[in-house]
Structure 1
Amino acid sequence: MKPIVQAILIVCLVILASCNQTTKEKKSMQNNRNLTAKEILNKPDYLAISYGGYRKKTRDSQPTLKELKADLKILHAMDVRVLRTYNVRLPHAANILKAIKELKAEDESFEMYVMLGAWIDCKNAWTELPLNHNEESTNNAAEIERAVELANLFPDIVKIIAVGNETMVKWASAYFVQPHIILKWVKHLQQIKKEGKLDKNVWVTSSDNFASWGGGESEYHTPELEELIKSVDYLSIHTYPMHDTHYNPIFWGILPREAKLSNTEKLDKVMNRALSYAVSQYDSVASYVKSLGVKKPIHIGETGWASASSGFYGPNGSKASDEYKQSLYYHKMREWATENKIKCFYFEAFDEPWKDAHNPKGSENFFGLFTVDGKAKYALWDAVDKGTFEGLKRGKTKITKTYDGKLINLLLDVQMPPVKNEIMPDH
């Protein structure tokens, strides 16, 4: 073989080997960006969050694709990799999936998955007709059908379908259903997985209050609930200590022996008890599931803390809501969940003013880690300092700190919880 021919052959072989290696690397990257629900839920570093992109006082004003993509970039920057949505009747969830697909096409390092919620109602919910909690809304079938359609359209993004949101807990008096209705749709989804009409790796659950999963009163301990626990791929439970600072303040308040501590030390003690209270609710569900002889993963589908309130949790109530306490709860909950390998869908990413549109200062409007105009609340001030959100905006606004980053001004809005002789419920 002539030297020149030999040299050309060697160069070609090197190029071919390089191309093969590049192809393998791309395939490996694609596989790493298409994990299963089981893999995602078992990755502590993949933060999960509840997300609604609504910026106005009504959901009639849907966020644009551009707005959704801006939000997703912000969340991705803070290591959020799993989003939770709540219904598919409105365009919002489908548009989130489209936005994620476009971002993945634009940047192969972008990775985001979705827990897709299918909203479930009882018969005559949200109407003036008498409610029937034993029967379901005629809208439910279409909601489930649409969720399946979206899961099949975006198989690399939709990894979990949640049947209903706080749908079985009895205090959801406007729409709750009995467990047999949730069970019906969970079994339906599990069946169509077997038939190949839905990816077998899509996990099916229902996301509900801890009591609805058997962690509360015995009235929830029914054969239908037991069968539901056996039918879901995992349990998604909600726990809200903040709400119970009003409804069941057994853990809330400053102990007399803590009187000489500094205010920040007192608050740290109080919020440690808030975390312990949430953990006790998680443990109560785990205990009930164990009593049934069932082994299923249990993750937190919702927990959060409002940064403001004019009602039960404000200055004239339990004094629970402000950015400082929100930050303590957020970081303590994230740390506990990570240590215990529990996925926590923190509620929520951004404030959504439609939640309590008739009461602008209502707590439901202030569960976000960001304000509507994109300011990072105290829980994320460190992230701002680290440059996590450098170059990112919400609308025309760069991500900056609330209170202009002045902690002393933030602390002026912090209300100290009441001092209690005993941490016991009010009578």
Structure 2
Amino acid sequence: MSYREESYYKPKAYSQITTHGLDASKHSFEELKNIWRQTINDEFHGICFSMYEDGQEPGDDISFEQVERRIKKLKPHVKAVRSFSCIEGNEHVPVAAKKHGLTTLVGAWLSDDKDANEEEIEGLIALAKAGNVDVAAVGNEVLYRNDLSLEDLLGYIKRVKEALKGLNIPVGYVDAYYEFSRHPELVEHSDIILANLYPYWEGCPIDYALGHMQAMYGQVVDAAQGKPIIITETGWPSEGGGLKGAFASPESAMKYFIDTINWTKQNDIPIFYFSSFDESWKTGDEGDVGAYWGLWDKHENLKF
């Protein structure tokens, strides 16, 4: 990998411009759809990559051709792509993204399966040394799921940092926003803070969701000790039910996307929106809404 004089993601002084978001009640469905289309067509920072077509699920080995086809769909709309794993075809995501000029946030998926973790960590290191990684994420919501102890997780983070020393690739760990306040050791051992912010999963009504996300982000800023921050996931499902005061609907999904992208652009906050394509396999733990987080539907067409 060639030497880069400075990192793509730089620390900055954080001062948040608070916005109130779009009043969807003042717009017809068609007007809302037009604003959504304009927002998605006016290139935003990044998106979480969805791997699986109908009939596919984690554990299946996905081809480079399928990955590249989806990367081409995303390229006109985003500058960066986030992947979640380094095995079973997921390793193709950063390679295809780099081929098409996109920046990458590459994740190693960690769980309580230590053998699989070895494959993931070695895969992440290999992708980074081959020049395909701009930011390395060692694990995703491992503490939230109670899959590993904090000590084990920090061991993996330190191992990747040591392996990538001199490559100028920031290394971090992805989890829910509050985990960085609960575990300051995560901040200490991370070059960059990678936080997931989901007002929907906290049952927040859509009219208050942007403000709630801004408060979540503020908590991450307080915990980050001046280190750079990326919002690695946020989104809203377009159908499938609800949770407390949060309800999935096309109107809510469009409003949340418009509000989120406008606010992060105003504040120059890097974000990976969740997610790119609807994935039918995700209806397990998340219920019916799991299949409807995409900006594109499962047929790879823009949803609205």
**Pair 1:121-2:121 in alignment:** no
1:35-92 Cα offsets, whole Å, 9 max, x none, are 8432699xx96611100221123325544333322221221111x121111111322x
- Give, in whole Å, the separation in 1 of the partners of 2:55 and 2:211: 35
Partner of residue 162, structure 2: 191
Change in 2 beyond 3 A, CA 1:335/1:176: same
- Give, in whole Å, the separation in 2 of the partners of 1:62 and 1:377: 26
Partner of residue 352, structure 1: 279
- Give, in whole Å, the separation in 1 of the partners of 2:85 and 2:134: 15
* Offset of residue 356 of structure 1: 2.0
**Pair 1:296-2:227 in alignment:** yes
- Structure 2 matches for 1:306-317, cutoff 5 A? 306-310=237-241, 312-313=242-243
Contact 1:87 1:118 survives alignment (8 Å): yes
Contact 1:54 1:62 survives alignment (8 Å): no
Change in 2 beyond 3 A, CA 1:319/1:278: closer
Partner of residue 82, structure 1: 80
Which amino acid in the other structure matches residue 258 of structure 2?
A: H
Match of 1:276 among 199, 211, 214: 211
Change in 2 beyond 3 A, CA 1:45/1:202: farther
1:230-252 Cα offsets, whole Å, 9 max, x none, are 2211101111111112xxx4xx3
State the SS of the aligned residue for 2:194. strand
- RMSD (CA atoms): 3.0
Which amino acid in the other structure matches residue 295 of structure 1?
A: G
* TM-score normalised by the chain length of structure 1: 0.58
* Offset of residue 295 of structure 1: 1.8
- Give, in whole Å, the separation in 2 of the partners of 1:373 and 1:322: 19
Which amino acid in the other structure matches residue 232 of structure 1?
A: S
**Pair 1:240-2:191 in alignment:** no
Contact 2:125 2:164 survives alignment (8 Å): no
- Structure 2 matches for 1:362-381, cutoff 5 A? 362-378=288-304
1:229-281 Cα offsets, whole Å, 9 max, x none, are 12211101111111112xxx4xx3xxxxxxxxxxxxxxxxx43x101001111
1:160-212 Cα offsets, whole Å, 9 max, x none, are 1101111112xx2xx53232222112222222233x5xx2x111000100121
1:317-361 Cα offsets, whole Å, 9 max, x none, are 6461011111110111111111111111100000111212699x7
- Give, in whole Å, the separation in 2 of the partners of 1:204 and 1:142: 18
- Give, in whole Å, the separation in 1 of the partners of 2:82 and 2:11: 13
State the SS of the aligned residue for 1:301. strand
Partner of residue 258, structure 2: 331
Contact 1:58 1:357 survives alignment (8 Å): no
Which amino acid in the other structure matches residue 334 of structure 1?
A: I
**Pair 1:322-2:249 in alignment:** yes
- Aligned residue pair count: 274
- Give, in whole Å, the separation in 1 of the partners of 2:299 and 2:11: 30
- Structure 2 matches for 1:115-154, cutoff 5 A? 115-122=105-112, 137-153=114-130
- Structure 2 matches for 1:384-403, cutoff 5 A? none
Contact 1:239 1:282 survives alignment (8 Å): yes
* Offset of residue 148 of structure 1: 0.3
Contact 2:48 2:83 survives alignment (8 Å): yes
Partner of residue 401, structure 1: none
- Structure with larger Rg: 1
* TM-score normalised by the chain length of structure 2: 0.80
Partner of residue 262, structure 1: none
Match of 1:227 among 161, 185, 206: 185
State the SS of the aligned residue for 1:354. helix
- Give, in whole Å, the separation in 2 of the partners of 1:61 and 1:48: 25
Which amino acid in the other structure matches residue 279 of structure 1?
A: Q
- Give, in whole Å, the separation in 2 of the partners of 1:211 and 1:72: 31
State the SS of the aligned residue for 2:272. strand
Residue ranges of structure 1 left out of the alignment (5+ in a row): 1-29, 105-109, 126-136, 215-219, 253-269, 379-427
Contact 2:11 2:228 survives alignment (8 Å): no
Which amino acid in the other structure matches residue 273 of structure 2?
A: Y
